[in-house]
Amino acid sequence: MTYHGETGIVRWRQLGAGNDFITIAVQLPESGTSLTRTVRLHGQVAQVEEIAKNEKAWDRPVGWCQHVTLGAPFLERGVTRIQASLTRGQADGSPDEFQWPSGLAEKKIDLRSVRNLQKSAGFVNHFLVDPGRQYGFFAAFHPRYRLVFGYVFPRAEYAWLNVWESNEPEMLTRGMEFSNTPVHGTMKALMATPRLWDMPTFDWLDAKGELKKRFWAFSVRVPDGFKGVQNVEFRDGHIDVIEENTGRAIRVPEQ
């Protein structure tokens, strides 16, 4: 099996499309599953729904991760600020715990920004999405562009968020991957850690059954002097970005 599964290397087909939506699907022969994805645009909000179907007659564990990656020029060292609804976390391979926004690279770091370094070692930290929330989020803000970009997702479907970074002279990227698992690697690694902090680390896809997951991506311009993201609220299908210190709510346009 290729790294991160088959979905990135097999050919998808279009099932339907209109002015504001597209539905695509794919067969995954090695794993015996099929996947359908529908993206619907509502102004500056993209609603995504995915359905995975088990084509085989046995149950299987499933790691399901949305690999969101930020890059330049929106991602800028020491400038772009990131906020997320996360609580306790660990670095990959380490038993030590810390609380968001702390993370571990060569040393403890603040994951709300990318350090102003020309080069640093790669790292992966995984975090539990705040158990007190119905919807988790992450949002990135660039002051010069006056732009906030982010995602909202049901915590019941994505209880984890994995953070990684590639800080190299030729490439600057930050991964903010909301997921149903904090475990990286093989199926053996997944099954070796069925729960962490009393939360499951994968889903079961039943024999001949299906799983459905949803999330929303958004972007919104903010006023001059915007102080940063304190929270992102999702109510009745509307997304509001809450400003730090002021509590001002900025509604993401839906038309």
**Tell me: the pLDDT tens digits for 179-230?**
999 998 888 888 898 999 999 999 999 999 999 999 999 999 999 999 999 9
- Residue 105 CA to residue 164 CA, distance in Å, equals 9
Q: CA angle 120-179-207, nearest 5°? A: 140
Residues 15-71 have pLDDT tens digits of 999 999 999 999 999 989 999 999 999 999 999 999 999 999 999 999 999 999 999
Q: Is the pTM of this model over 0.85?
A: yes
pLDDT at position 255, please?
80
Structural domain includes residue 183: yes
141 part of a folded domain: yes
Q: CA gyration radius for the chain?
A: 19
Segments forming the whole domain that contains residue 197? 64-201+219-251
Q: Do the domain assignments include residue 44?
A: no
Give percent above pLDDT 90 in the chain: 82
Mean pLDDT over 136-140 rounds to 98
| DSSP per position, 61-75 | EE--EE--EEETTTS
Q: Using an 8 Å Cβ cutoff, are 137 and 150 in contact?
A: yes
Asked whether residue 151 is domain-assigned, the answer is yes
Residue 54 lies inside a defined structural domain of this protein? no
Asked, for residue 6, whether it belongs to a domain, the answer is no
The reply to whether 210 falls in a domain is no
Asked, for residue 119, whether it belongs to a domain, the answer is yes
For residues 123 and 164, the answer to whether their CB atoms sit within 8 Å is: yes
Mean residue pLDDT of the chain comes to 94
How many domains does the structure of the chain reveal? 1
